[in-house]
Structure 1
Amino acid sequence: MSRRSKENPEGLKMFDSHCHLTDAQFGADLAMVLKRAHSAGVRYMMTASQSVPDSRQVVALSRHREGVYCAVGVHPHDSDQFRSWDVQALKDMCIESKVKAIGEIGLDFFRGISSRGNQETAFHAQVELARMLAMPMIIHIRDAASRARSIVDEHGYYAGVLHCFSADKKLAEWAAEKGLFVSFSGNITYGEERLEDIVRAIPRDLLMVETDAPFLAPAPSRGQRNEPAMIRLTVEKLAQLVGITPVEAADLTRENALRCFRI
C-alpha cells in the first residue's frame, strides 16, 4: 500500500535513478534531505560516484540506509586522475551488496576538464569492467555521442542507462535498439521541444527519471540546489508528455529502474 502525506497526496512511490548524495552541497543537511525525499514518496535512490575516493564514500553512505543504492566509477571529468590499478579498486568495491552499477562513466567533450584521450581510456576500462562483472553501467555522454557509441559498440555490452539524456534523436534510437534505458532529469521541465519529442519517442519500458541532485533542479526551481524530493516534478512532466497519470509514471519509471539495476 502506498504511503500518502501532505507532500505526496497521491501516494507516489518513486525511484531517483541518479543523484550525488556525497556532494559537498549535502554536507550540512543530508539527514534532512533524505527525510524530505522519503516524505515526498522517493522509495529508492541511486547515488553515483565521481572518482575512486568518492566511490568509497558512496559505498559507505549507502551501506546502512534503506532504499539507498550506489554506483562506483570514475566520471569523465576525473579521467585525468584515472590509473589502470583503479579498475581493481572499483572491482573490489563491487562485492558490497548495495553496489548495483558501474558509474558514472562516459565521455564529456563539452567542458574538456579531462583530456579526450584520458576520458576514452577510463571509459574503455570501465565498460570492460562492467562487462566482466555483468553489471549495468550509468553512462554520461555530452557532446561525444558518436565516440561514446563507438566505444560501447566495440565492447558489445549494453546493460545500463544513458543518464540525464540531452543528446539527439539518433543516440536515443541507438539506445532503444540496444535495450539501454534512457533517464531524464529536470531538463525535461525547461520547455525544450526537441527533448520533449525524444521523451515521447522512447519505448516506455526503457524510460527512467532522475534528479542528478544537487544539479539540474526542475522548473520552477531551476538554478537552486536540487535534491531527490524534487523528482516528483520530473515524474509529473514525464506523465504529461507520455500521456499517463503521475501515479502510472512513478510506477513505470520505478519498475524500469529496479529492472535496470537488478534490485
Structure 2
Amino acid sequence: MPALVDSHVHLDDAAFDADREAVLARSLAAGVRALVVPAVDRPSWDRIDALQRQHDGVHAAYGLHPLYMARHQPGHVEALAGWLERHRAVAVGEIGLDFYHGDADAGLQRDCFRRQLQLARELRLPVILHARRALEEVILTLRAHPGLRGVVHSFSGSEEQARQLWRLGFHLGIGGPVTYGRAQRLRRIVAAMPLEFLLLESDAPDQPDAAHRGQRNEPARVPEVLHCVAGLRGQAPEEIAAATTANADRLFGLSLA
C-alpha cells in the first residue's frame, strides 16, 4: 500500500497532550506517513512549529480560524505575514468563514479571510479552507481572488458547489463523515468526483469515522476513510492511496518521493 497523507489534523490540540508520541507511532504503523497540521490562532503557531521541528512527517500550515475571532487581535494578520517569511509552511490555514452560530461577527470574519487570501497569493502558498454555513460565499470570495489553489477541508456542500470548486482548481478534503451511511449526498459526490481533486483527512481529534463514533479521532484512522472511498468508487484502495498522496504532495509540496 502506498504511503498515505493526512491532509488535515490538529496534532497540537490538547486532546493529544497525554499520548502524542503514541498517536504518531500508530499513524506510522497505519501507513500514514505525512501529516498536514493547520493552525487556528496565534498561540498554535508556536506549538505547530515545534512539532514540525521534532518530527519529519509533520508539515505546518499557519493561519487564523474564523471560529476564534475573539482570540485574534488586530495585528495578527500582519504578524502572520512576518511569521510565514521566517518559518517553513506548506499552506496558509486554517482560514475561511463560519456562520453556524447566529452571533458570529461576519464582518470581522470576512475581513480576516480576505486579508489572509491576499497574503497566500502574495506568498504563492495554497490555502486550507473552513466553510460552515458559508460555502457559497467562500466560493464567491475565491473568485474575487484569482490564482489561488488549495482545499476545502471537511467538504459538505452540494454537487454544484463541488463542481465550482474543481473549476477553480480546488481540492475537497474528505474524512470520517463519508463513512456514515446517512451522508448520502457526500457519498455520491465522492463516488463520482475527479480523483485528482480528492484529499484524505482525519480532522483529528474531531470527526471520527462511523466505526469509532463518539471517540477521539486520530491520523491512524485515515485508512478507514480510504477503504470507504475505494468502496464507493469501485476502485482498489492502493489506487486511491497513490492518487490522493500524489495530490497532497503536488498541492503542498511535501517532497514525499
TM-score of the superposed pair, with normalisation by structure 2: 0.94
Superposed CA RMSD in Å reads 1.4
Offset, 1:96:
5.3
Count of equivalent residues: 253
Residue 171 of structure 2: aligned partner: 181
**CA distance in structure 1 between the partners assigned to 2:229 and 2:79 by the alignment:** 37
- Equivalent position SS for 2:60: strand
**CA distance in structure 2 between the partners assigned to 1:113 and 1:58 by the alignment:** 30
Deviations 1:225-249 (A, max 9, x none): 0000000100111111122111111
Residue 214 of structure 2: aligned partner: 223
Residue 121 of structure 1: aligned partner: 111
Gaps of 5+ in 2: none
Offset, 1:51:
0.4
Does 2:18 correspond to 1:33? Answer: no
Over the matched positions of the two proteins, sequence identity in percent amounts to: 38
Gaps of 5+ in 1: 1-10
1:196 to 187, 201, 205: 187
- Equivalent position SS for 1:140: strand
Offset, 1:20:
0.2
Residue 133 of structure 1: aligned partner: 123
- Equivalent position SS for 1:155: coil
Question: Are the equivalent residues in 1 in contact too, given 2:77–2:112 (CA < 8 A)?
Answer: no
**CA distance in structure 1 between the partners assigned to 2:94 and 2:157 by the alignment:** 17
Residue 50 of structure 2: aligned partner: 60
Offset, 1:80:
3.4
- Equivalent position SS for 2:7: strand
Deviations 1:133-171 (A, max 9, x none): 010000011111221112111122331111111111121
Question: Are the equivalent residues in 1 in contact too, given 2:96–2:129 (CA < 8 A)?
Answer: yes
Deviations 1:39-63 (A, max 9, x none): 1101100011110111221112112
Residue type of the partner of 1:207? L
Residue 248 of structure 1: aligned partner: 239
**CA distance in structure 2 between the partners assigned to 1:23 and 1:180 by the alignment:** 26
- Equivalent position SS for 2:144: helix
1:157-172 correspondence runs (5 A): 157-172=147-162
**CA distance in structure 2 between the partners assigned to 1:13 and 1:96 by the alignment:** 29
Residue type of the partner of 1:243? G
**CA distance in structure 2 between the partners assigned to 1:147 and 1:214 by the alignment:** 27
Residue type of the partner of 2:193? I
Residue 137 of structure 2: aligned partner: 147
Residue 4 of structure 1: aligned partner: none
Offset, 1:125:
0.9
TM-score of the superposed pair, with normalisation by structure 1: 0.92
Does 2:16 correspond to 1:20? Answer: no
